[in-house]
Structure formats: C-alpha cells, structure tokens
Amino acid sequence: MLLTVALRSLLRNKRRTAVTLATVAVGTAALFLFRGFNTGLLNEYRNNAVHAHYGNGQVNTIGYRDKVLAKPWEAWIQNPQEVLSNLLKIPGVEKVFPRLEFSALVSNGTRSLGARGVGIDGAAESEFFYTINVVEGNPLRDAEDGIVLGRGLAHSLDLQVGQRVTLLSNTIHGTLNGADLEVVGIFHTGSRELDDSFFQIQLPHAQRLLDTEKVEKVSLGLARHEDWARVEQVIRATFSGLEATPFEILDKIYYQNSVDFLNAQYAIVRAIILFVVILGVFNTATSAILERTQEIGMLRANGESKKDILSLIALEGAFAAAAGALIGLLVVVLLNMTILRDGFYMPPGPGITRSFKTYIQLHSGMAIEAAFLVLVAAVVGSLLAALKVLRMPISHALRQVG
Amino acid sequence: MESLFQGKSVSLSYIMDDVRVEAIKQLDFEIETGKFTCLAGASGSGKSSLLNLLGFIEPLQQGQIKYRGQLISEFSEIELNRIRRFEIGFVFQSFFLIDVLTAEENVEYFLARQEVPEEKRKLLVRSALEWVGLADHAHKRPGQMSGGQRQRVAIARALAKQPKVILADEPTANLDSKTGSDILQLLVRLCREHGCTVIMASHDHQAINMADRVLRLRDGQLLGEK
C-alpha cells in the first residue's frame, strides 16, 4: 500500500515530478559521462605509457631499481636468451623486449649532449611500441647501424633523418668506446622527459658499446594488462633473483600521478553534482511535502510513525530518482553511440606535449555507481524536506493549509 | 459503565499570532465507553483541543489524562502510535482522504498498515463501504466524489479499523444540512450497532440532541453537561 501511494504520488503534480526527474537525470548523466570520460582518458594515458616505452612492466634483478650501484652491470640479467624464452612461456605474456639502458654523449660532430640511450630489439619493438609516434623517418626496426632520437634531443643537436651521429660511452670495464650511427627516425612520445633526452639503438650495438652480453631488463608485452598481477606472481615464484614491476610504478610521474589527479578531480566534481541533486530534489520535495502537510498529519493521527512517513517519502524520492537515473543513463549511452562515437581530441595534459584522441568509455559498474549515488542523494533531499513537517505536532500539521 | 478517558486538571495553551491562547483551563472530565459523547461549544471553546488531546495528537502540557485506566504520559511514542493505529479512528472536518487512492483503497490503507490479511481486509473494506452506502463508489477517487460522499469514506475508513473509539472533529461543518444529518445518523448508528465509543466535537444542535452525553465547553472550561 505504501508502494501504491508512493508511486501514484509521482503523478500528483506532473510538472514538479518532471523537474525532479530532470534534476536526477542530469545529475546521473553528468556523473556517468564524467566517469566514462575519465576512464577513456586514463586508458589513453595507460596506452601511451605502455606502448610508448615501458611495456606492461619490466623484469630486472631483485633490488636493482631501488639501489644506486657503483657497478650496475653486476646486477644485470645474465643468460638473457634463456630468461626471454622462459618468460614467453608464462600464460598472458605475448612479447618480451630485452633492453640495455646506458648514458652516452651524442655528438653531431660539432656539439655533444649527454643523453640516455637504450639498446632494443628494433624489429620486435616496432610493432608493440606504436605510440612512440615517429614524426620523421622510421622506427628502428632492423636498421643495424640506425639510431632513433627523441624530438627534443634531435632538435637540440640540429639532427635530421639521414645524418650521422657519434655515440661515446664507457664500457663496463671503464674504457672509452664509440659508435658511428645514422639517424633513421625521430620520435615524439608526448612525454617531455623521454623526448628531450632519449635515443634508441639496436641491442647488439649497445652491448658492444658497453662490452657486455647481459641485458639490463626485459620489458613485457601482455595480451591484457589485467593479467599483470598473475604474471608477476609467476615470475616471483619461478625466477629466482628476478622481480617484475608494473608500468604504473615505473611511470609514476606520468601515469600514476595522472590517475591520482583525475580521481581527485572526479571526487570533487562528484561531490558538487551530488550536492546540486540534493538541493534540487530538496527544493521540489519541500513544496510537494508542504502541500501534503495535512495528509501527513492524518497519517500520523492514524498511527503512522515518523519512521513510516520517512519510509513513504524515501520511497517516493527513490521512485522518482530511479526513473530519472534511468533516463540519464540512457541519454549518455545514446550520446556515446552517436555524436561521441568517434571520440574527440584533447589538448596535451600535464607532462605531455602532444594532443591525443580519447573516447568516452562506459561500463555497467559506472552506470550502477552513478545511479546509486544520485538515488541516495535524491532520497536524502526528500528526507530533509520531510523533516520540517515531521517536527510539527500532529494537530499543527492537520491545521496547516496546503 | 467503564470509563474510557479520565482527565484531571488538564490545561493546554498555545501561541497564536504572538498571543498565548489558553485553550483548556484546569479541566476535569470523564468519558464513558460505548457512548456517543458530544463536546459542544462555540468556536474557540476548546472542544477541538480536547479532542486532539484525547487522540494523542496534541502533546499534553499540564494535568493528567488516563486512557483505559492508564496515564497517557506513561505511554511511549511507539505505544501511542500503536493505540492510534489500532484503537482510535478519526473523522475530520476536512475529510483528509488520500487523493491518489480510490475510496476502497483509502479504507484499506490503514488495514494494510495494521497487517490485516488481504482476504479479511477486502471483506472489512467492502462491508464498511456498504455500511456507509458507498459500495457503488468504491473505485472513485476523492476528487470524483461530493463532500458528503468523502465524509462517508472517512467514516468507513475509521469504522474498518474496528476501533474502540472514534474521534470526530466537526464532521458536518463542511456539509449541507441534509448531508450533515445523514453523517450524524451514521455516527450514531456506529455507536449503537458497533458498540464503538464516539466522541464528537460540534456546535451543531442536531448533534447535541442526538448525543448520549454532552459536555458543554466555554473558554476552555466545562460549563455543564447533559
């Protein structure tokens, strides 16, 4: 019976119900859309981080990342071929990319700059690391004497594709070594840190330059990033002396800080939206309830407790909110299937130097969260509106003129 | 005859337009079970205030009132709600029907809240509506009925609860004399046929004449009784 009254009460004043529905629908849509936008943004950030440089994570010897070592090469991975083939046997691991990172002087013949180089398997990496975004020339691929420079680094040295550069570095034994290479490409990851100081050469070249057969680390390419925890567990259990680190930790400044920033931003926007919904519903519910003061007085006179009345008002609020939330969710889904379907370009974010395309990425969990939060806000708004009438003695409520 | 309500030194005041109004002053009274009692008096005499105190819808400020031998100040809010839900039926001057429910549903509402089983509930609703002569109007909403019909629905609603007492506050004031007379007849029948105590606040002479007992009030004090 309470349900019947609650449902039919929505039709008492259609205009007011429409206002409540609209308030709730807009609130739900805003939450759902903003959450979907944030998720799309984070996925783009994640893709950028994974496919520009880090892979889904990296494997190195235990403690290697945490210590400053006098002789880091002593902690590099020995027998890399064996490690690579064993890593590939782990379910979920699709690609392995051995790497050797080192410092070197890059010289164009007249000027030299200190930079960070990485020796890679050029042929293997060219497909997986697609967001490295080569803006001139080609990725390293199988160019044996090739070098690919970050755009900032190439710009600083006035280097173009086809020109030659000299690398100077120390071997692990402390002697000076050099290599003469041809610029085959210039990349632009969007991350200033990488673009201004990084270059890539073939791994064998790097190993010769440093006079070692070891690799420093192995980047992993997974079919799904969600498999990372399981892969990490297998590595910990199977490979003594090795540890795996996900890209979120490797790229804390760019990715994890972005995640934290966007989540904090979402929390603030969410609080504002919910406050507006509470205020909006409170406003319409107050006039609805004041009009029904005598009815509420009659119900209380006939034995309904304050709790019973609050249940009735909460039910009415919940029905209106559920309908409004459904409308809001449907509108967002429709928008995402039509005008937002092809995504849109975003200006460069913090720490990024190029714009990127993003999409609204929606899933059911977000819809449930948005609808639930707005529903709770609407019920709270309704209950707050009811409190004034419930504080009145019953006889006063009965005397009120609606 | 057993006493349903007993009041001793009952006083009630309230503020209206910044002026304190003494609605009831040091009133002693007794109302017996099973009788039709009329609280008579002019407007402002305190009859509605007394009725509100008897229905526990106005907090008792001073004095004491016993309901079936127990001081109402000793009842918890839960107990007062229970008594109002199961033992008291109200009939108001302005009917106060739930306008989104049909006549039938209005009568059924409090039975459902009493958790009366559905089958019995339907039976009680039907017989209450038949008793007030509205069986054919069961599916009409209040907005589709006349004032007299709405008051009949309100009486049916009170009757269906099978209360020990019905408190009626000027139930004929908003009705024409013919309809008002019919409503009075219904309330008298309710008392005679169902053994229900009816306490009615009214200044209607016909009501005063039909009552078993009349408590005459003036300025919140008992002027006399018949």
Tell me if B154 sits within 8 A of B97, measured CB to CB.
yes
Mean pLDDT of chain A: 90
Please state, in angstroms and as integers, the Cα–Cα distance from residue A184 to each residue in A103, A104, A163, B77, following that order: 20, 18, 8, 86
Residue A353 pLDDT class (50, 70, 90 cuts): low
Q: How many domains, in total, are found in chain B? A: 1
Q: Using a CB-CB distance cutoff of 8 angstroms, which residues of chain B are in contact with residue A393? A: 57-59
Query: Taking CA atoms, what residue in A is nearest to B154?
Result: A298
A4 touches chain B (CB under 8 A): yes
Model pLDDT for residues A270-287, shown as the tens digit of each residue: 999 999 999 999 999 998
Neighbours of A351 (CB within 10 A): 16
Q: Using a CB-CB distance cutoff of 8 angstroms, which residues of chain A are in contact with residue B91? A: none
Evaluate whether residue B195 is within a structural domain. yes
Evaluate whether residue B182 is within a structural domain. yes
Residue B1 has pLDDT above 70, yes or no: no
Torsion sign over Cα B37, A299, B164, B124: positive
Separation of CA B33 from chain center: 14
Residue B193 has pLDDT above 90, yes or no: no
Contact A303 B78 (CB under 8 A): no
> What is the full DSSP assignment across A85-140?
HHHHTSTTEEEEEEEEEEEEEEE-SS-EEEEEEEEE-HHHHHHH-GGG-EEEE---
Q: Using a CB-CB distance cutoff of 8 angstroms, which residues of chain A are in contact with residue B88? A: 302-303
Position B145 scores a pLDDT of 93
Position A401 scores a pLDDT of 65
Give buried/exposed letters for B148-164 (b at 16+ CB in 10 A, else e).
Answer: bbbbbbbbbbbbbbbbb
Domain that holds residue B116: 35-59+83-225
Q: Residue A273: which of A189, A154, A374 has the closest Cα?
A: A374
Query: Taking CA atoms, what residue in B is nearest to A398?
Result: B96
Model pLDDT for residues A207-219, shown as the tens digit of each residue: 999 999 999 999 9
Position B177 scores a pLDDT of 82
Contacts of residue A217, Cβ cutoff 8 Å, sequence gap at least 6: A58, A59, A60, A64, A77, A98, A99, A101
Phi, psi values for residue A118, rounded to 5°: -140, 130
Q: Residue A221: which of A61, A386, A88 has the closest Cα?
A: A88
Residue A375 pLDDT class (50, 70, 90 cuts): very high
Position A350 scores a pLDDT of 61
Residue A242 has pLDDT above 80, yes or no: yes
Residue B187 has pLDDT above 90, yes or no: no
The SS3 call for residue A275 is helix
Query: Which ranges constitute the DSSP H helices of B55-93?
Result: 77-86
Report the C-alpha gap between A286 and A309 in whole angstroms: 14
Position B225 scores a pLDDT of 77
Residue A380 has pLDDT above 60, yes or no: yes
Model pLDDT for residues A215-237, shown as the tens digit of each residue: 999 999 998 889 999 999 999 99
Residue B117 has pLDDT above 80, yes or no: yes
Paired tokens of A310? 């609050």
Q: Residue A146: which of A114, A122, A130 has the closest Cα?
A: A122
Evaluate whether residue B216 is within a structural domain. yes
Contact A5 B101 (CB under 8 A): yes
Position A179 scores a pLDDT of 93
Cα atoms found within 13 Å of the Cα of residue A271, Cβ hemisphere only: 5
Mind telling me how many Å the CA of A7 is from chain B's nearest CA? 9
Evaluate whether residue B15 is within a structural domain. no
Model pLDDT for residues A169-190, shown as the tens digit of each residue: 999 999 999 999 999 999 887 7
The domain that holds B138 is classified in CATH as 3.40.50.300
A182 touches chain B (CB under 8 A): no
Give the strands of the sheet with B3-16, arranged side by side. B19-32, B3-16, B62-67, B70-71
